[in-house]
Amino acid sequence: MSLAPCDAAPLLPCDLDELIDQGFGGKIEEYLVRNVYETLSPGEQRLLKAISIFRAPVDEQAIGEVLAEESLALSPGEGMESVDRLLDGLVQKHAIQQTDYGEKYLHSLLAEFCYDRLRTDVPFRTRLHKNAGQYYYSLDEYLEAAHHYFEAKEYQKSAAVIVDNLDQLIYAGQSMAILGQLRELGSQMLDATTWAAVCMAIGDACMIAGEYEDAVVSYQAILDTETLVLSSRQVADVQRRIGEAYDRKGQYDQALNHYAEGIQVLGDDDSVEMARIHGRLSRIYAQQGEYEKAIESARQGLSIVKGTGYEKETADCYDAIGLIYLRKGDYDRAIEHHSKALETRKRIGDKLGLTGSYIKLGIAYKSKGEYDRALEYYTDSLATSEEVEDIIRIAVSHGELGFVHDVKGNHDQAIWHYNKALPLFRRLGNRPLEAITHNNLGEAYRGKGEYGQAMEHLYLALKMYVDLEDTEGLSDVYRILGEVSLHLGNTQQAQEYCQKAIQLAAEIESRHCLGCAYRALGKIQTKTENPAEARQHLNLALAIFRELGDEGEVAYTLSDLANFEYDTGDRERARQVCNEALAMAEELGINKIAQQMAKLTQKLALRHEGAMNGTVNERA
């Protein structure tokens, strides 16, 4: 076969992007046919068609691997060395583009043009894609391998490549790419067992991507496959996954129904699947404040898996127990259990589980008032969840980072994080977390003094909490509305909001909400010339937060109490409380409170100096 000499004139006077700019428009294909493709030898045409199967630039080794059995077909009597010579010639003619690293590729227009012509040579096209699938699989590039096997119509292999390496692909943040590839497959292309595995993988990837409705549809398809015979454990596994999809959307009743179906199917079978379901049940019970049920479920799950080698499930149970203590306000025991879970997850490389453990440890330290420690864990959770593209935990991490920054007085940073979280919660359809984010945005804007913005978010949160029948949320939003109303000068409305907050907190026995509401009411009463009741409620709040061990809230309450004592004229008491608040705020990094207390300290010192001067003058 005749090869173009290395110093042959380029077929294209410039690269294709420049060619298009010269005004070929809709005639570009005609130009490519007449002035490029038809001027090439059959071997060169065949080589261009072969390279057109690649979706990214490749080195010569990749081209050689794909053409290993096709080299003689390029030109009778020519071996693999002819491919190298053809490549060099086509690069010089600008038919093949080359990266700075020497990788070869075709311009998108030329690639599409050549691949269209490859479609008419089905055997050649099939062999190329099959070889490419084998090549990419040898490099552990599973998504590319699956793509090429699919194009070679080897559907079972295409599915197996992804299903068998699903965790690795998810940990690499490839959930959306997984979905794009697996959704090309249909039940008619696969046997029933492989189709079920594909549905499971699609469901798992949807869970990470936050596509919960699609996850449910995929999981349900497994149960609906008539030709598939499932064991009771397999049915329970699917029911648990469907339940978790509803759980992540905040639809707890539906989640509980599917968990119950899983338990019913298992009967007396205390398998690892039973432990997994009990772990999920425990979380919902803890969220709903049913702590006895929660601890019973968590311990039952732990008793099944502890010491059996199921380390991920053991870590899940430790996290479940930790969550119970977290919700009950026993932060040290919560940290103990979440730390055990974290240690296990690090050892086994469970990235998805790591994000959850990081978040819960962050919440525990936040609740203790150790905000810098909490920020470390939330930063770790955000980085890990972004790495695997776990949408809900990316959103939760932003939400928690926002909360800590708001407490520390960094209101703009808090608002930035909340605004990152809010659209993600909307996308996920998680109404409870969307409501909390509006609530927290209202608090952040209140702290910043932008009361119009605060009210806008608080009213949205209020409506959502009413719809969700979320008593704890309602207590908090009424408390914040009370504080905003106070700043707007409507003290009567402020008191009414705070009384509602106290009533709701008492109904659900939420000590934290009760403490916040008492403090807000005390601040309001300082403006209504009712110092006795103001002092009573501020001290009640302080006692609650000291009992809970929430140092951040203690510092905030001490600062309010110091200002109150100063305003009522008790300088000595104001000085004592102010000193304690200042020390705590500096230790916790709450700059806003530290600055306020430093100013109050200066005012107290000036008053003391003025009083001393007055006494001296009188004596003189």
Per-residue tokens: 248: 């992540």
Residue 15 pLDDT class (50, 70, 90 cuts): low
Residue 615 pLDDT class (50, 70, 90 cuts): very low
How far is the C-alpha of 553 from the C-alpha of 368, rounded, in Å? 9
* Residue pair 135/60 in contact by the 8 Å Cβ criterion: no
What does the pLDDT read at residue 527?
A: 85
Span 159-187, average pLDDT: 94
The domain locations on the chain are: 1-120, 563-620
| The pLDDT of residue 528 is above 90 | no
Percentage of the chain surpassing pLDDT 70? Answer: 90
Give the tens place of pLDDT for each residue, 240-263. 999 999 999 889 999 999 999 999
How far is the C-alpha of 159 from the C-alpha of 186, rounded, in Å? 10
What does the pLDDT read at residue 444?
A: 96
The fold of 1-120 is Arc Repressor Mutant, subunit A (1.10.10)
Span 265-269, average pLDDT: 94
76-90, 310-324, 454-468, 543-557: range with lowest mean pLDDT: 76-90
What does the pLDDT read at residue 616?
A: 36
* Residue pair 582/620 in contact by the 8 Å Cβ criterion: no
What does the pLDDT read at residue 614?
A: 53
Give the tens place of pLDDT for each residue, 394-432. 999 999 999 999 999 899 999 999 999 999 999 988 999
| The pLDDT of residue 618 is above 50 | no
Span 11-19, average pLDDT: 53
| The pLDDT of residue 7 is above 50 | no
Q: What type of residue sits at position 38?
A: E
Per-residue tokens: 360: 């819960």
Q: What type of residue sits at position 85?
A: R
Considering only residues 110 and 465, tell me which one the structure prediction assigns the higher pLDDT: 465
| The pLDDT of residue 349 is above 50 | yes
Cβ-based neighbours of 45, under 8 Å, separated by 6 or more: 37, 117
| The CA-based dihedral angle spanning residues 92, 96, 101, 103, taken in that order and rounded to the nearest 10 degrees | -140
- 618 class by beta-carbon count within 10 Å (0-12 exposed, 13-18 middle, 19+ buried): exposed
Residue 529 pLDDT class (50, 70, 90 cuts): confident
Cβ-based neighbours of 74, under 8 Å, separated by 6 or more: 43, 46, 47, 67, 82, 83, 86
Give the tens place of pLDDT for each residue, 57-107. 999 889 988 887 665 445 544 555 577 888 888 888 888 888 988 899 998
Q: Whole-number mean pLDDT of the chain?
A: 89
User: What predicted TM-score, i.e. pTM, was given to this entire model?
Assistant: 0.76
Phi-psi region of 329 (alpha: psi -120 to 50; beta: other; left: phi over 0): left
